[in-house]
Amino acid sequence: MKIESVDFFYLAMPEVTLEADGSQDALLVRVLAGGHVGYGECEAAPLPSIAAFVCPHSHGACQPVSASVLGRELNDARDIAAIAADVAYNSMDVLQAAHTFSGIEMALWDILGKARGEPVWKLLGYPASYAKTPYASLLFGDDAQLTLARAREAMARGFRAVKFGWGPIGRAGAQQDAEHFVAAREAMGPDGILLVDVGQIFVDDLERAATRLPALEAARATWLEEPFHSSALEEYGALARRCNTVRLAGGEGAHNFSMARHLIDYGGIGYVQIDCGRIGGIGPAKQVADHALAKGVTYVNHTFTSHLALSASLQPFAGLREHTICEYPAAPKALAVELTANHIQRDAQGSVYAPDAPGLGITIDAAAVRRYQVDTELRVAGRTLYRSPQFD
C-alpha cells in the first residue's frame, strides 16, 4: 500500500476555557492508503501541529512532517518504524513534529490492522488483550467539600478508581492540600484506588513537593503524578527516594521513547504514563511498555480526549495482564464524546478492553466532525499550504 493522503481536521467546542480539560478541542487525522482509511488524533495545540505538517522546509534537517510521510509504502510494522525514524531525522529541528506525527502514526496502525483484519494489539505481538480498571479523571474541587462531592459522584457511577488532578493543589499550603486528599479518601471508602495528579505545580522544588508526601501516604494514594516539570529528572529521583508507600507517576509529556525511559531509569517513577498523541504514536509507546516491564514499572495510558485516542492508548499495554490501571476520560466535553460513533464501554465488572476489532476499532462520526470543525487556513508566499478539508 502507498500512503495517498493525510488530512487534518481541527475541531473545537464553541467555547474553549482555560480549565485543565484537554477534551475541549481535537486534531483528528485521516490517512488513506491502499483503499483503507485510518484515523488518529494528535494531542493538543492543533494550529502548530498542522503548521509542522505543511511548513516550508528551512533546511535538510528542518523539513515538514509531510516530507517523510506522503507517498511512502505501508505494508508492515517496519514501514511505520522507518517512517517514524525519517520524521525524527528530517524534522529534527521542528520541535512540534512529534506531536504532529503522533496522530498520523496511530492512523497508520489503524490502516494496517484494517488491511489484515486484526486489532492493533495483535500486530504489536500480544496474543491476548486483558481487562483494565478505568479510573475517572477528575479535577480537584475549588474546596475539599467539592472534591468530596465529585469523588462520591464517581463512585456512584461505578468507578473503582479515581484520579484527582490540578485545581488548587500546590497553590496554597500543604495543610489545605491534605484536606482534599482526606476528602477524596473519605468518599471513596477503604478500597477505592486514589490517584493524585498535581500537574507540574512544584516545577523543580523538591522540598515543597516533599511536604505533601505524609498526607498522600496517610490517604493511601497509589501515586503522586507529575510533581515536577517533565525534564526535572534529578528532582523526580530525589523525591522517589523519599517515598514510603506512594509511588511517583509521570511521562505524559514525553515526546519520544528516550524521555519516558529517562523518567524510569533516572527519575525512579513507579508508573509511566504515556500519551500516544504526543510520544509519536503507538510504536514508541510500545517501546516504553517493553522497557517498563523489564524495569518493574507499571505502564498506564494518558488519555483526556476521545475514544479514538483511548483505543490508541490502550493498544501498547493491552497484552500486559498485570498492568491494569487505565485512564478513562470520565467527564469529557461533547465534542470528545460525539466524535466517535462507538465507544469503549465499561462492562458489568467495570472493566474496559482494547477493542477486539480490526485496527483501532473505532468509527468516526462524520456529522460530528462537520459540526465541530474549525475553519483554518495557512498561507505562505502567496500559496495556500493548508485549508480545512471537507470530511466526506
Determine if 60 is a binding residue for a copy of itself (CB under 8 A): yes
Neighbouring CB atoms inside 10 A of 32's CB total: 17
* Cα–Cα distance measured from residue 250 to residue 258, given in angstroms and rounded to the nearest whole number: 13
Site string for a copy of itself, 199-238 (x = CB under 8 A): xx--x-------------------------x-xxxx----
Q: How far apart are CA 346 and CA 342, in angstroms?
A: 13
Provide the mask over 286-315, with x wherever binding to a copy of itself is found by CB under 8 A and - wherever it is not.
Answer: ------------------------------
Closest CB to a copy of itself among residues 178, 260: 260
Torsion of Cα atoms, 13 then 355 then 99 then 60, to 10°: -140
How far CA 222 is from CA of 185, 200, 216, 255, 386, in Å, comes to 11, 18, 9, 25, 45
Cell numbers given for 144: 475539599
Per CB under 8 A, contacts with a copy of itself among 262-281 are: 262, 265-266, 278
Please state the φ and ψ torsions of residue 213, each to the nearest 5 degrees.
-65, -45
Grid coordinates standing for 368?
460530528
Q: Which of 107, 209, 259, 360 binds a copy of itself (CB under 8 A)?
A: 259
Give the whole-angstrom CA distance, residue 216 versus residue 231.
23
Closest CB 186 distance from a copy of itself, rounded Å: 28
Laid out side by side, the sheet with 25-33 consists of: 3-12, 25-33, 36-42
Nearer to a copy of itself, 94 or 360 (CB): 94
> Is residue 337 part of the contact set for a copy of itself (CB under 8 A)?
no
Nearest Cα residue to 263 out of 226, 290, 300? 226
Q: How far apart are CA 129 and CA 127, in angstroms?
A: 7
Could you give the string, one character per residue 166-205, with x where binding to a copy of itself holds by CB under 8 A and - elsewhere? x--------------------------------xx--x--
* The binder of a copy of itself chosen from 6, 30, 43, 180 (CB under 8 A): 43
Stretch that binds a copy of itself, among 154-162, 205-213, 321-329, 369-377 (CB under 8 A): 369-377
> Running DSSP on this structure, what letter comes out for residue 5?
E
Compute φ and ψ for 44, nearest 5 degrees: 75, 150
Shorter beta-carbon distance to a copy of itself: residue 123 or 292: 292
- Per-residue contact track with a copy of itself, 80 to 109, x per CB under 8 A? -----x--xx--xxxxx-xx----------
User: Shortest Cβ distance from residue 178 to a copy of itself (Å)?
Assistant: 23
Please say which residue, 112 or 138, places its beta carbon nearer to a copy of itself: 138
**197-215 b/e with 16+ CB inside 10 Å = b?**
bbbbbbeeebeebbebbeb
| Residue in this structure with the C-alpha cell 483503507, named with its chain if needed | 36
Q: Which of 3, 24, 163, 344 binds a copy of itself (CB under 8 A)?
A: 24
- Contact assessment for residue 341 and residue 364, using Cβ atoms and an 8 Å cutoff: yes
Query: Between residues 18 and 156, which has the closer beta carbon with respect to a copy of itself?
Result: 18
Stretch that binds a copy of itself, among 54-62, 127-135, 148-156, 290-298 (CB under 8 A): 54-62
Instruction: Give contact residues for a copy of itself (rule: CB under 8 A).
Output: 10, 12, 16-22, 24-25, 43-48, 50-52, 54-63, 85, 88-89, 92-96, 98-99, 166, 199-200, 203, 229, 231-234, 253, 255-256, 258-259, 261-262, 265-266, 278, 374-382, 385
